[in-house]
């Protein structure tokens, strides 16, 4: 098969392979193999996820988003910002655009290197969740679905927390079965700064940033700590993500996520780069 043209992009350190698939150039019968193979680090391009941009009959475009393990994700905030900038660069949409995801329609406003997204309204807000992790009680600030499910755990210092070990156990805890959850560790630092680290479902490891996780953390901090919009968090990559929101009676609405979306390089993906 012919090499596949692609962009490598990064949203706050969360990296993606993005392919314009409006002409169905990606082989559906080998899609799982392509995703897992291309997302392997050191052996291929390497990425946290792969995004296919496709035609939509009602908005500017639609995407299909896949985690590095080949699983489908309903939404990814950092990936969505990258997809929006990709669409502007390729003339698929103007600076103000809308595109379909499995979580719903996302609106985006693309700047020079940053993108502001209007997210779908969050659902399933719960606070004060107590879990038993192999005999150790753990208290979570809460959980919320911001396009995908997230939990937030407040910690004293994000630098010392065992993100992978604790995150993996919470991610697969029976309380969140069968879908599992993403896990965010948040520390409130002196001077008002907020630091966050995330264990991502589907990647099954810590990533340098997670857009929907930052949204979840900001909303749960607003709900449990009384923080007001906007809330800015510093991700593991060192990049900041800013979340805007409104509290409307008993729910959050008008939720926006703003942060960078960088083009790293463009190239052609040869079959030998992802073939097993």
> Per-residue pLDDT averaged across 131-136, rounded?
91
pLDDT confidence band for 113 (50 / 70 / 90):
confident
- The predicted-structure confidence for 184-241, as pLDDT tens digits, reads as follows 999 999 999 999 999 999 999 999 999 999 999 999 999 999 999 999 999 999 999 9
- Predicted confidence (pLDDT) at residue 134 exceeds the cutoff of 90: no
Buried b (16+ CB within 10 A) or exposed e, 240-273: bbbbbbeeeeeebeebbbbbbbbeeeeeebeeeb
pLDDT above 70 coverage of the chain, percent: 100
Is the pLDDT at 108 greater than 90? The verdict is: yes
Question: Is 90 exceeded by the pLDDT of residue 148?
Answer: yes
Q: Does residue 82 have an active-site annotation? A: no
Q: Output the CATH code of domain 123-258.
A: 3.10.310.10
pLDDT for 212: 97
Is 76 an active-site residue? yes
User: pLDDT value at position 1?
Assistant: 81
Contact predicate 55/22, CB 8 Å? yes
Catalytic residue among 39, 183, 210, 255: 210
- DSSP assignment of 186-246: EEE-GGG-EEEEEEETTTTEEES--HHHHHHHHHHHHHHH---S-EEEE-TTS-EEEEEEE
Q: What rounded mean pLDDT belongs to the chain?
A: 96
What does pTM read for this prediction?
0.94
Mean pLDDT of 231-257: 96
**Six token digits for residue 175:** 């309380």
Tell me what the mean pLDDT of segment 53-57 comes to: 97
For CATH 3.10.310.10, list the domain ranges present in the chain.
Answer: 4-113+262-273, 123-258
CATH of 4-113+262-273, one of 3.30.70.120, 3.30.70.420, 3.10.310.10, 2.130.10.10: 3.10.310.10
Candidates 51, 76, 84, 170; catalytic one = 76
pLDDT at 165: 96
Residues 29-53, mean pLDDT to the nearest whole number: 96
Q: Which of 87, 22, 83, 84 is nearest to 54 (CA)?
A: 22
């Amino acid at each position: 098969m012919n090499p596949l043209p692609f962009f490598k992009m990064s949203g706050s350190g969360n990296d993606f392979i993005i392919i314009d698939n409006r002409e169905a150039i990606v082989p559906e019968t080998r899609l799982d193999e392509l995703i897992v193979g291309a997302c392997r680090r050191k052996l291929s391009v390497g990425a946290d996820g792969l995004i296919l941009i496709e035609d939509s009959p009602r908005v500017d475009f639609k995407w299909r988003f896949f985690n590095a393990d080949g699983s489908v994700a309903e939404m990814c905030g950092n990936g969505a910002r990258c997809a929006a900038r990709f669409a502007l660069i390729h003339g698929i949409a103007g600076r103000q655009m809308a595109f379909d995801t499995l979580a719903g329609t996302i609106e985006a406003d693309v700047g020079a290197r940053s993108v502001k997204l209007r997210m779908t309204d969050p659902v399933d807000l719960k606070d004060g969740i107590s879990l038993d992790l192999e005999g150790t009680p753990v208290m979570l600030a809460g959980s919320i679905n911001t396009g995908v499910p997230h939990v937030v755990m407040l910690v004293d210092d994000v630098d010392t927390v065992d993100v992978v070990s604790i995150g993996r156990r919470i991610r697969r805890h029976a309380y969140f079965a069968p879908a599992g959850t993403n896990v965010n560790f948040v520390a409130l630092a002196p001077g008002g700064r907020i630091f966050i680290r995330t264990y991502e479902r589907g990647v099954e490891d810590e990533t340098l940033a997670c857009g929907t996780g930052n949204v979840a953390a900001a909303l749960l901090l607003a709900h449990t700590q009384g923080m007001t919009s906007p809330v800015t968090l510093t991700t593991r990559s060192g990049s900041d993500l800013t979340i805007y929101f409104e509290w409307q009676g008993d729910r959050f609405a008008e939720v926006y996520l703003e942060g960078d979306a960088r083009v790293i390089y463009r190239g052609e993906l040869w079959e030998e780069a992802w073939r097993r």
